[in-house]
Structure 1
Amino acid sequence: MNTHIPTLLLREWLQHKRGWLIAAFAPPILFLAMLPFSHMDGRPEGSLEMFAPLIFVISSCAIYAIALLVALFQLPGLARRDVQDRSIEFWLSLPGRPGESVASTVLAHAWLAPVGAAVVGAAFGLPIALSVLGRMFGWADTMALHWGEVLVAALPLLLRGLAGTVLLTLWLLPLIFVLMAASAWLKRLGVPLVLVGGGVAVAVMHNVYGIDWPLNALLDLNVRINHALLYDGHGLVRALQSGLDLGGYMLQDLGRSAAELLSLSFVGWMAVAVSGFALVVAKRARGG
C-alpha cells in the first residue's frame, strides 16, 4: 500500500520550518549572548565531571521542551488549517487519505520537530557548558577537563532522552487528539470548552459527587508523562556521584518507563487517542 506521509511531512517542513528553526536556535543563542552579563556567586558543590554532562542534557531538554510547547499550542489550530485557508478541496482531491494528513501533521509537530530541536540543544551543549563551567569553576579548570570523556558520559543520557521522546509522544497523544477534535468540530470554542468544561466537570464529580476516577486517571497520566524522559531523576544523580555505568543505568531506566506501556492505563488512553483521531479524520473527510 502506497503512503503519502513523506510528501505530507515535506509540506509541514516547507510551511513551518521558519518557526521550528527559531524555536530551536533562538533560545540557546540568546542564552549564550546574555551569559556574559550574568552574575554567579560562589562555587557550587559537586565536581566538574558531574556538572558537564548534565549541562549537555539540560540544554537538550530545555530546547526540546520549548519546541514541544510550541507544537502543543499549534496542533489544535492545525486541525482546521486547510479549512481556514480554503485549501481543503485541493488537499482532498489528492490521492492521499485524510488519515495520512492528520497523522503526518501530528508526527511532524509533536515528535520530529521537538526531536530536531533536542539535537540542536545538544549541539549547543558544548559552548554552553564551556561558558557556564568557566564562570562557575574558573577557566583553567574548565579547559583542563577531558571533554572527550564528557561527551562519552553525556551520550547515554542524551540517547535515553531521545528514546524517551517516543514514550512521551505516545502518552501525549490523547491530549493532542482530543484538543484537535474539539477544534475541528467546535472551531474556536473547542479547546476552551474542553479545558474549562473538562476541568469543571472533573472538579464537580470529585468534590460534589465523590466520583474520583476521572481525577485519578488524569493524575496517573501526569505521572506517566513525567516518567517518559527519565523515570528516576534522584537515581540518576546518585549514579553520577557514585560513578556507575551510565549506559547500563539508562537502559534500566528506559525499561522501567517502557514497561508502563503494558498497563491498562495506556490501553485506555490510547482508546481515547484513537477516538479523537477518528473524529479529526471524519471532520476532514467531510471537507469541514
Structure 2
Amino acid sequence: MELRQLVYFEAVVRCGGFTRAAHDLRVAQPAISAQVRRLESELGVTLLARTTRRVTPTEAGELLLVRARRVLAELAAARDEAAQVADVVRGSVTVGTTGVLGGLDLPAVLSGFIGRHPGVTVSLRTGLMDALLDDLTAGAADLVLGPVHPDRPAGILVTPLSEDRLVLLTPLDRDGGELTEFAGEPFVSLPVGSGLRKLLDGLATRLGVDLPVRFEASSPDGVRDLVAAGLGVALMAASAVARPGPAVGVHEVVPATPHPAIGVLYGATTSPAARALRSWVIRSAGRLPGGEQAS
C-alpha cells in the first residue's frame, strides 16, 4: 500500500468520481483509476461501488476511508512538528487574501501564529484572486487564502479549508426568484479579475440572459452596502453575508449554483516558515487535510 493510493482513493470518494478527482488533483484519470484498482487488489476487497453517474464507497471502503484520512492528517501533523523541532520556522511569509474566507478568523489566526513563532515576519496583502495568483506564481506571495477556482494556474497546490455556498442578495423589499427573473436589472459585483465576477458572467452565459454589472465594489462588504442602498442585486458567498452589516434580503440561488470551496493555495516549493504558517492555518480551520492537491 502506497501513500499516493490513499490520497487518490480519498479524493475519488470526496469528489464523487474519478473524473472529478482527476480534475481536482490535476492528475491523469487513468493513473488514479490504476492506483485505486491496485489498492483494491492488494487488499482483496472492492472499495468503490461504481455507477455511470457516481462513485460511492462500499462498506469496506468506508472503513478504509476513516483510516486513510487519519493517516494523511497524522502525516501533515508530523511534518509540522518536525519543522518545529528542527527550529526552522524563521524568516518571512507574505500572505495574499481575498475578502471571502469562509468562517476563518484571519486576524486571530495570524496573531496566534506570530505569538508562537516570533522569528517569522508575516506580511498581508488583499486583492482580487487573479492578481493574488499572479503574485503567487511570481513568488511575490507565499500563500493565498480564498476561493479555489478550477482555472487556477498550473503548478499551484491546494488544501481545502471549508465549504461555502452562493446566495442572492436583494434589498429588503425584494423577493428572491430565478435568476432569469432578474435579467436586465442592475447587478452589483466585485471587479473583473475576481472569482465572483467570473461566476456571475458564467451564469449569464449559461442561462442566456443579461445580468449587467452596473455597480462595482472592491470588497464583499462594499457589495452588500450597495445592495442595501437599493442600487441592485448581487451574488455573494454565504460566509461573507454572515458578517455584521446592513440588512439585506438573502435568498437561495435558482438555479442552484455551487460556490468554490475556501482553501489555502501555495507553490510546489515553499520556505519552512511558509509551510509552518500553512499548517497553522489548516489546524485553525479545523480541517484534516486529505492530501495536497497538485495542479
Question: Shorter chain as normaliser: what TM range?
Answer: under 0.3
**Larger Rg belongs to:** 1
TM-score, normalised to structure 1, is: 0.22
Higher helix share: 1
Higher strand share: 2
